[in-house]
Amino acid sequence: MKEIITRFPPSPTGYLHVGGARTALFNWLYARKTGGKFVLRIEDTDLQRSTQASADAIFEALEWLEIKWDEGPFFQTKRFDIYLEYIRKLLDSGHAYYCDCSPEKVEEMRKKGMAAGGKAKYDGTCREKGLGKGENTVIRFKAPLSGTTVIEDAVKGNIVFQNADLDDFVIARSDGTPTYNFVVVVDDITMHISTIIRGDDHVSNTPKQILLYKALGAELPTFAHVPMVLGKDKSRLSKRHGAMSVTEYRKMGFLPDALINYLVRLGWSHGDQEFFTREELLEKFSLDHVGKSAGVFDPDKLLALNADHIKACDPEKLIPHLRPFLEELNIEADDRDYLIKVIRTLNARSKTLAEMAASAQFYYADTLTYDEKAAKKLLKPAVAEPLQLLIRELESLENFTEKDLEGAFVKVMEATGLKLGKIAQPVRVALTGKTASPGIFEVVEILGKEKVVKRLTDAVSYAMKQE
């Protein structure tokens, strides 16, 4: 069986957005599933808009998603000699010719074609003139005038184009630079690409590319055009739908596996399963289950899926993802074992890593700042006595296990006649500064006796000063 080689060819004119990331993901998954190769190619022939900074941002995004390429990155601007060689092949074989029609003249032809109820196309004026290279000549591909070109699409099935509707398209501009459809085909031939998975906005380019393959005597790859990703209003996905660049999702505290899980489900399915680990995707992905209808991007579903992935992830594996967010808050989480305990209390409560880091602040604070409403309501003079009793009970404990802590709280409840909630809520504010936190016994156990006693003592002092 022929080796599967897929590719991802972004243009370095901006950041990697979710649509491009999904295309990269599908190609990468298919290559990995089949034991093939995944090639990264940078299509930077748009010299005015392409930048190295954008290329670097694309590399960074792919690396964060852990979509690793086997070959490349190849830059088209460094391959012009190869393109010129293939242009010469087409000229020598009679599949291409020089054309000196001005842009204005070509525009007239297109208008004339439209007015006659046909296609807006070049009319072949220079097709048989046998012109040589001139100052303002372009090179056109000599397309067949009759018959059909068929895309045998792995997702959409056969798509038939009438050759009479295609024109003799330009493959090299008057300044000698090759055009998109031509360089893509040359790249895919020379890089031995076997399978092209891309958005269905490329379907209209495909018949031209198939004709180029045939003219160059090359074997056709498998084409798989996947539906576009749309916003909730079913228009093309953009920032107004809540979709941002991959690096923005990283900054917001999304896990790469969560984003990958969500993107792959925009157009692919495996039964009713929604949650996938990376390993499951690598095992189960296939082109057979890519749908024909567009995926709809829903930021709320992505957020919920991210929460599921945070909850399911081993706390130790979360550490490298969480650390940057802790550092932004000037939290030095050097004690790995302590951090793992902290994560275990927060991972079921956090939708993003940024949220988790913010929630973890009280574990590392030297002094707490109380939420004003919480303190006013719960740290009143009346709580000073039960808190002092609790301090004494905690100080007398040899072990700070959850069972021992429960016993200490029970003794205070018996001594004061208060229910657990009346004690636990003031204690929660005293230890975390807020009314919402992980389980109070978990918090006490992780903070440890010294910190807990100090914070409770500070809370007593605070409560005694209230009117």
Residue numbers annotated as active site: 239
Task: Tell me the angle at which helices 420-432 and 384-395 cross, rounded to the nearest 10 degrees.
Answer: 80
Q: SS3 of 435, please?
A: coil
Strand runs labelled E in 142-188: 148-153, 157-162, 170-172
Neighbours of 244 (CB within 10 A): 16
**Using an 8 Å Cβ cutoff, are 357 and 322 in contact?**
yes
Q: Could you tell me which residues come within 8 angstroms of residue 239 by beta carbon, excluding any fewer than 6 positions away?
A: none
Question: Using CA atoms, how far apart are residues 389 and 422, in angstroms rounded to an integer?
Answer: 14
Question: Using CA atoms, how far apart are residues 70 and 84, in angstroms rounded to an integer?
Answer: 27
Question: Using CA atoms, how far apart are residues 76 and 83, in angstroms rounded to an integer?
Answer: 9
Question: Using CA atoms, how far apart are residues 24 and 50, in angstroms rounded to an integer?
Answer: 19
The secondary structure of the chain in percent helix, strand, coil, rounded to multiples of 5, reads 50, 10, 35
Provide the Cα torsion 92, 93, 96, 97; round to 10°: 50
Q: How many Cα atoms occupy the beta-carbon half-sphere of 341 within 13 Å?
A: 17
Amino acid at 387: L
**Using an 8 Å Cβ cutoff, are 228 and 19 in contact?**
yes
Tokens of 143: 């397309």
